[in-house]
């Protein structure tokens, strides 16, 4: 390139500021040591500072410095108008025009500005080449290695994550299998436990039946031999107990040694402990005795036994049929309504089920599953599941199905009424598809005894039926033989006996509601009157439906409804 010929290369131009205060005017000085551009005021402060007073501060010429800011070739000199900057003073580090060079920088080390530019350009190109050849490839190589490592880490992470997912699935499966094994083991243990309990219950029931037989035999011998019965606990006279230390209050008789020895000899396989028996010598009743200690159980009854009202509540219906189902609840129904209602003892209605087109619910029985068997006024017996599904089981036409109950094997017992001398009781299979047997009770003269079967209950092995407003009759389930009939005369009440509802308690005693006499007749399993409870004394008029909750924590709790009102009464025995 010819001397004096300068290429036109432009860089972005910036305004020079004072690096002390930021001023853009009077920036006339430059410190070579800092290096920094300074205004007049900052130059004075700079020179007086003890740390920088030895710095070399020179007058700044030109608008732009080489080391501070951008510049361009052929830029005009700010001091000498019309003259371009063509040289660069290496000592002052500033571009100069020819006049500046001649006046102030003639003796300085200077070089032409384009030469300085091209030297700088060459230096920059060399630096760029060095970076391209060494540093950039190294950085690129390290970046590539780093990327490979990241990819490898990602692959490892994916493998570990996949393995963890597999382990998690296997762990879930193992836990599920363990839970299944535990549930199965628990179920087996529960079944074994229940089986043992049932065996014990069966054993107890068998012993109780043997004792009852022994009691009946002993009672006969007592009466036949004229022996004095000198002690008598009237709380429950229908049962003879030789035990004196049982937790539940039960009746006991104190007998002489002769009778006691006979009882022991008749017990057979039943275990007993001599310390559990009370004995006392008694003499044979002599003729002419003014005072006899013999008391007839059937006539004397239980003078101290009473029932009292616990509470009552208003239901949506009257209670013709009442079936306690545990958990402090009972189902209620009425013969002119299509619905059945579940209430708790506080009077809260838990739920209701409507049997459309039934014409009214006449009777109810509850299965072990919680499902309900209902007899309906439209000549049908239906099954109501726990979830409310309704299925017709039996068509009873032309008979009206009044009362209904279940045997121990859940056979369905239905009172067939409405056909005068053809009325009877039928046992059906649990699914209602087949008849097991018909029970038609007739007297010696073939007279129909089941005149109007209205309500029915299974009491041990007996089928106890209420003939509407007539009597209570016990029948043998197999032979249809009439075992006993209770007509209410033993109670010696002023109004004719009008039985409606019936249930039994855990002692196999029967409670029968007497509507017109406003009372409940309490009978033993042989149909002997124990006690008459006058319900009108606590406001229960015309008692109808009745049921006993044997699961109540405080003993047998009696639920009873009325024909007069929708008030449901809760009663209990007073010991």
346 confidence band (pLDDT: 50, 70, 90): very high
Query: What is the pLDDT at residue 5?
Result: 33
**Nearest by Cα to 550 from 367, 325, 349:** 325
DSSP track, 100-140: HHHHTSTTS-EEEHHHHHHHHHHHHHHHHHHIIIIIHHHHH
pLDDT value of position 251:
38
What's this model's pTM, rounded to 2 decimal places?
0.51
Sign, CA dihedral 535-537-540-542, equals positive
Average pLDDT score, the chain:
79
Per-residue pLDDT tens digits for 504-527:
988 889 999 999 999 999 999 999
As a whole number, mean pLDDT of residues 144-171 equals 91
pLDDT above 50 for 139? yes
Task: Classify residue 306 as exposed, middle or buried by CB count within 10 Å of its CB (0-12, 13-18, 19+).
Answer: middle
Q: Check residues 253 and 438 and name the one with the higher pLDDT.
A: 438
**Most confident by average pLDDT, 90-99, 298-307, 375-384:** 375-384
> Reading across the β-sheet that carries 400-406, which strands appear in turn?
400-406, 412-417, 424-428, 435-439
Residue 538: CA count within 13 A, CB half-sphere:
20
Are the beta carbons of 524 and 509 closer than 8 angstroms? yes
Q: In what order do the strands lie in the sheet with 349-354?
A: 321-326, 329-333, 339-344, 349-354
Split at pLDDT 50, 70, 90, the class of 546 is very high
Q: Are 324 and 549 in contact (CB under 8 A)?
A: yes
Write the CA distances from 539 to 10, 52, 91, 513, integer angstroms: 118, 117, 128, 15
Q: What is the pLDDT of residues 8-25, one digit of tens each?
A: 333 333 456 788 888 877
**Average of per-residue pLDDT across 548-553:** 75
Q: What is the pLDDT of residue 347?
A: 94
- Asked if residue 524 lies in contact with residue 462, where contact means CB atoms within 8 angstroms, the answer is no
- For residue 476, give both structure tokens: 């043998």
- CB within 8 A of 31, min separation 6: which ones? 38, 46, 52, 55, 56, 57
User: Cβ distance 350 to 342 under 8 Å?
Assistant: yes
CA neighbor of 420 nearest in space, from 378, 383, 440, 450? 450
d(CA 497, CA 467): 11
């Amino acid at each position: 390139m010819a001397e004096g010929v300068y290429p036109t290369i432009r860089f972005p131009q910036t305004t020079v500021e004072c690096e002390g205060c930021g001023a853009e005017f009077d920036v006339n000085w430059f410190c070579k040591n800092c290096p920094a551009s300074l205004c007049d005021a900052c130059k004075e402060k700079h020179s007086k500072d003890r740390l920088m007073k030895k710095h070399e501060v020179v007058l700044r010429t030109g608008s732009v410095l080489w080391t501070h800011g951008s510049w361009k070739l052929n830029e005009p000199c700010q001091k000498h108008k019309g003259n371009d900057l063509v040289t660069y003073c290496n000592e002052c580090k500033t571009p100069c025009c020819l006049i500046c060079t001649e006046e102030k920088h003639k003796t300085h080390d200077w070089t032409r500005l384009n030469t300085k530019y091209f030297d700088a350009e060459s230096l920059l190109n060399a630096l760029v080449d060095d970076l391209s050849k060494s540093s950039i490839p190294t950085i690129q190589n390290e970046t590539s290695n780093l990327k490979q490592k990241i990819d490898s880490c990602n692959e490892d992470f994916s493998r570990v994550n996949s393995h963890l997912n597999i382990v998690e699935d296997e762990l879930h499966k193992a836990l599920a299998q363990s839970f299944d094994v535990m549930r199965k083991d628990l179920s087996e243990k529960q079944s074994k436990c229940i089986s043992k309990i049932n065996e014990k219950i069966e054993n107890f029931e068998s012993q109780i039946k043997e004792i009852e037989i022994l009691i009946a035999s002993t009672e006969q011998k007592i009466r036949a031999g004229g022996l004095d019965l000198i002690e008598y606990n009237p709380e429950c006279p229908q049962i003879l107990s030789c035990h004196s230390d049982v937790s539940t209050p039960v009746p006991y008789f104190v007998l002489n040694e002769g009778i006691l020895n006979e009882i022991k000899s008749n017990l057979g396989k039943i275990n007993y402990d001599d310390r559990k028996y009370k004995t006392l010598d008694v003499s044979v009743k002599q003729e002419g005795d003014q005072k006899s200690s013999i008391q007839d159980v059937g006539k004397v009854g239980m003078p101290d036994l009473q029932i009292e009202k616990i509470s009552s509540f208003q239901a949506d219906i009257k209670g013709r049929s009442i079936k306690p189902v545990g958990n402090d609840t009972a189902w209620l129904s009425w013969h002119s309504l299509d619905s059945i209602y579940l209430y708790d003892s506080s009077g809260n209605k838990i739920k209701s089920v409507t049997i459309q087109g039934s014409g009214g619910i006449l009777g109810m029985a509850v299965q072990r599953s919680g499902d309900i068997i209902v007899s309906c006024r439209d000549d049908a017996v239906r099954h109501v599941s726990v979830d409310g599904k309704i299925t017709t089981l039996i068509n009873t036409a032309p008979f009206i199905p009044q009362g209904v109950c279940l045997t121990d094997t859940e056979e369905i017992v239905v009172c067939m009424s409405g056909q005068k001398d053809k009325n009877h009781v039928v046992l059906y299979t649990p699914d209602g598809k087949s008849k097991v047997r018909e029970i038609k009770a007739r007297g010696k003269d073939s007279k129909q005894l089941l005149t109007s079967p209205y309500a029915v209950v299974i009491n041990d092995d007996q089928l106890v039926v209420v003939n509407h407003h007539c009597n209570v009759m016990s029948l043998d389930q197999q032979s249809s033989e009439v075992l006993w009939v209770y007509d209410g005369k033993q109670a010696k009440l002023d109004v004719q006996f009008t039985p409606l509802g019936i249930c039994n308690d855990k002692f196999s005693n029967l409670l029968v509601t007497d509507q017109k006499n406003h009372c409940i007749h309490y009978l033993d399993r042989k149909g002997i009157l124990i006690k008459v409870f006058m319900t009108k004394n606590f406001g229960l008029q015309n008692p109808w439906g009745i049921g006993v909750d044997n699961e109540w924590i405080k003993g047998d709790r009696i639920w009873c409804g009325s024909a007069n009102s929708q008030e449901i009464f809760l009663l209990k025995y007073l010991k």
